[in-house]
């Protein structure tokens, strides 16, 4: 059963993400990562899954995170700072077939190094396109997250583009996969950056997570 969020949590999430958000850093290598400050929330997923669009929708900004119709455009870890020392991280998309082997190796190495060495990383939201479901290219990131014991949660994106029955099938598929991954949070959120579906709940989940880390 999905978590129930109180009206207070929903409102606190709305206010938090309505605050001032700014780009603060871009890192293309381990050496160029910013100092570990505040609480970091990262968004990972295949290329073109909608990471940047989700960040923009959460913060109510049209162009905070750069979006592109070209898969593989984001090639760095992009950091955005908001209120209460909360930092959102837009990660390079993985599984982009047209990228060179060398570029894929660089992206993969950066992603894995970041996930394994970031003590202030509170959670990774692993985005899955509701239209396509889980793919073989998702498995390596699952393995990395499990080995690093990083808390992560599945989020379906573009959920407005599938019918209710197909959405239920996608959610069921992910719940089956959850049983194989001990580090995964046991609940799945379905979202749409276009309609706003699930965004209040995702904001509230982040508020709750930050509160738990402070206690």
Q: Is 199 domain-assigned?
A: yes
Question: Could you tell me if residue 168 is inside a domain?
Answer: no
Structural domain includes residue 127: no
User: Rg of the Cα trace of the chain?
Assistant: 16
pLDDT for 1 beyond 60: no
Mean pLDDT value of segment 102-116? 79
Give the Cα separation of 49 and 45 in Å (integer): 6
- d(Cα 166, Cα 156) in Å, to the nearest integer? 12
Q: Is the pLDDT of residue 192 over 60?
A: yes
CB hemisphere CA count around 161 (13 angstroms): 13
Tell me, what DSSP letter sits at residue 31? G
- Kindly state whether residue 187 falls inside one of the protein's structural domains: no
What is the spatial distance between Cα 163 and Cα 24, in angstroms, rounded to a whole number?
A: 38
**What is the rounded CA–CA span in Å between residue 30 and residue 110?**
6
> pLDDT category, 97, cuts 50, 70, 90?
low
Please give the C-alpha separations between residue 112 and each of 105, 129, 147, 181, in angstroms, as whole numbers. 11, 21, 10, 17
Give the per-residue pLDDT at 2: 53
* Dihedral class, residue 198 (left if φ above 0, else alpha if ψ from -120 to 50, else beta): left
Q: Is residue 17 part of a domain?
A: yes
More confident residue, 211 or 101: 211
pLDDT computed for residue 104 by the predictor: 67
Collect all residues with Cβ–Cβ distance below 8 Å to 118 and sequence separation of at least 6: 33, 36, 40
In a domain, 183, yes or no: no
Residues 200-206: what's their mean pLDDT? 97
pLDDT, average across residues 32-44: 94
185 within domain boundaries = no
| CATH number for the domain that contains residue 50 | 3.40.50.300
Mean pLDDT of the 98-123 span: 80
**Domain span holding position 68:** 7-121+135-144+194-214
> If you average pLDDT over residues 2-22, what whole number do you get?
92
pLDDT, averaged across the chain: 88
Q: Count how many domains the chain has.
A: 1
pLDDT digits over 147-187, tens only? Answer: 888 889 999 999 999 999 999 999 999 999 888 887 889 89
Write out pLDDT tens, residues 57-92: 999 998 898 765 544 456 789 999 999 999 999 998
The answer to whether position 182 is within a domain reads no
For residues 189 and 155, the answer to whether their CB atoms sit within 8 Å is yes
The bridge status of strand 86-90 relative to strand 39-45 is parallel
């Amino acid at each position: 059963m999905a978590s129930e969020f109180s009206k207070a949590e929903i409102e606190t999430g709305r206010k938090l993400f309505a605050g001032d958000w700014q780009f603060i850093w871009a890192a293309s290598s381990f050496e160029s990562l910013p100092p570990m400050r505040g609480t970091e929330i990262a968004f990972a997923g295949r290329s073109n899954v909608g990471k940047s669009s989700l960040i923009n929708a959460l913060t109510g900004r049209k162009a905070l995170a750069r979006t592109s119709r070209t898969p593989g455009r984001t090639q760095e870890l992009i950091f955005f700072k908001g209120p209460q020392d909360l930092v959102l991280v837009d990660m390079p998309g993985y599984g982009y077939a047209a990228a060179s082997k060398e570029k894929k190796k660089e992206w993969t190495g950066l992603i894995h190094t970041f996930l394994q060495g970031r003590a202030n990383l509170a959670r990774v939201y692993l985005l899955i396109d509701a239209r396509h479901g889980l793919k073989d290219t998702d498995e390596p990131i699952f393995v990395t997250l499990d080995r690093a014991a990083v808390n992560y949660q599945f989020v379906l994106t573009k959920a407005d583009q599938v019918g209710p029955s197909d959405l239920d099938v996608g959610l069921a598929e992910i719940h089956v996969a959850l049983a194989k991954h001990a580090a995964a949070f046991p609940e799945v959120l379905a979202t749409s950056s276009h309609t706003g579906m699930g965004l209040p709940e995702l904001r509230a989940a982040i508020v709750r997570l930050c509160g738990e880390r402070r206690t």
